[in-house]
Chains A and B, each alone.
Chain A
Amino acid sequence: MEGIPPRRALILVLVLVVSSLFSVLASSSSSSPSQDVRILSVERRIDLTSFIVRAFLAFKVENTGASDVSEILIAFSPNEAQHLAIVKASTTAGKRKKKAYLPLDVNPIESPKGPNGAQLFSIALPTPLKSGDTAALEVLYVLTHSQEPFPAEISQSESQYVYYRDSALLLSPYHIKEQRTFIKTPSSKVESYTNVSPNNRVGTELRYGPYHDRSPYSHSPILVHFENNNPFAVVEELTREVEISHWGNVQITEHYKLSHAGAHHKGVFSRVEYQARPSISGVSSFKSLLARLPPRVHSVYYRDEIGNISSSRLRSDSLKSELEIEPRYPLFGGWKTTFVIGYGLPLQDFLFESSDGQHYLNFTFGCPLLETVVDRLTIKVSTLQF
């Protein structure tokens, strides 16, 4: 160590100190969440009985790290994340008889993303999970446009078959000890499905699993080809206008562009065959839709550019009103229709004054049609102040 000038020694010491600081920082941030939490068991139930895919997961997670864990991460593949409509999580509190469900906040994490662009969501636990403890979580997520019609074109008298692509192994940032997947199809006509042993099929339910000891982010793609004749109603564009009048009325006007998003209809449409044999002809088409409106609705109208459409029924009770509308023609694959629905509601059900003197409108944001997917929604609210 002799012969090194003091200035160089000082620089050397500084570099050593800085590099050791960096290494300490790097090691502290490299403790990834996958080392701390382990999923003991997960049961996944995927409901394909409608055009909208609903998946329900029941987790049991264990904290194997040393520190408390306050959030659990769930992952979705980039394709799933693009078609995700809603993610909800809840946990149970209390024993058997007094089970109560607490909703939990689920937030998307912009970065870092998982491998191959997997989208991560963070579920905030109500109380931090201590080391060695287990917790039970339930997650519900809904996917839209995830069933691809195959064959893509069918004639009037054919049934509709669709593809559903998923993974037999749950995509997760954690090590999973045991997992099972149950897929429910609308009917027992399943053309084909991928075999990832052990799996079997019972009636309308496909069972994959149990799979033991899988590493984080493991993935096994499966493809299910099954018959789905439920209505594939998609509202391509919806514009809702809400006019609030302080004289006691809220008037809503909704402009719809509805289409059938299933397998395209090819060939001719024979009205005779459609009406003579409804069980064979037009099984994948739909002719009516149900809209759920608030109770005490008045002045409901249903018209399009030609004029009033009289094929509609309104049934109301004290909790809700149901409007059943039938477009002018049944909708087959690829067919579209546009119409306008308008109705009025009493003001005191929706406009409130809070304790600090502010007025606020408590109104539903989404589309009142049941079992439909809305691609683009615009809502305009205007007040007519006097």
Chain B
Amino acid sequence: MAPKPITSPVPVEWYPSLSVLMLSIGLVLTASFFIYEATSSKRSRSLAKEITIGAVSSFFLGFGSLFLLLATGVYV
């Protein structure tokens, strides 16, 4: 009947690596979004593609910034 210790859902040692990885993926996707916007003309733009790249990049940037805060010691 030993009590089970409660730990974080993600191992604490992964916080810095996870934050760097997710932020870099998110920034790469953000860059690809901007490149897409810059290189496409009014006719060849596709709304679905814009929305998907934006959504996926914001997902990665969001979690990356969460893990960045946790890695620096601001335990939110």
Residues of A within 8 A of B (CB): 243, 245-249, 251, 299, 344, 346-349, 351-355, 359-360, 362, 384, 386
Asked if B75 and A251 make an inter-chain contact with CB atoms under 8 angstroms apart, the answer reads yes
Which chain A residue lies CB-closest to B67? A247
Q: Please report the C-alpha to C-alpha distance between residue A248 and residue B69 in the assembled complex, in whole angstroms.
A: 13
Residues of B within 8 A of A (CB): 1, 3-8, 10, 12, 70, 73, 75-76
* A352-B3, A354-B3, A355-B1 known; A344-B73 Cβ under 8 A: yes
Which chain B residue lies CB-closest to A350? B5
Asked if B70 and A347 make an inter-chain contact with CB atoms under 8 angstroms apart, the answer reads no
Q: Please report the C-alpha to C-alpha distance between residue A246 and residue B76 in the assembled complex, in whole angstroms.
A: 9
A-side contacts of B12, CB under 8 Å: 247-248, 346
Q: Please report the C-alpha to C-alpha distance between residue A247 and residue B3 in the assembled complex, in whole angstroms.
A: 19
Asked if B7 and A248 make an inter-chain contact with CB atoms under 8 angstroms apart, the answer reads yes
Which chain B residue lies CB-closest to A354? B3
* A247-B76, A299-B73, A384-B75 known; A351-B1 Cβ under 8 A: no
Rank and list the top 10 A-B pairs by shortest CB-CB distance, nearest first.
A248-B8, A245-B75, A352-B3, A348-B5, A249-B75, A351-B6, A348-B7, A248-B12, A353-B4, A247-B8
Q: Distance in Å from the Cβ of B70 to the closest Cβ of chain A?
A: 5
Q: Distance in Å from the Cβ of B45 to the closest Cβ of chain A?
A: 38
A-side contacts of B6, CB under 8 Å: 246, 347-348, 351-353, 359
Which chain A residue lies CB-closest to B6? A351
Q: Distance in Å from the Cβ of B63 to the closest Cβ of chain A?
A: 13
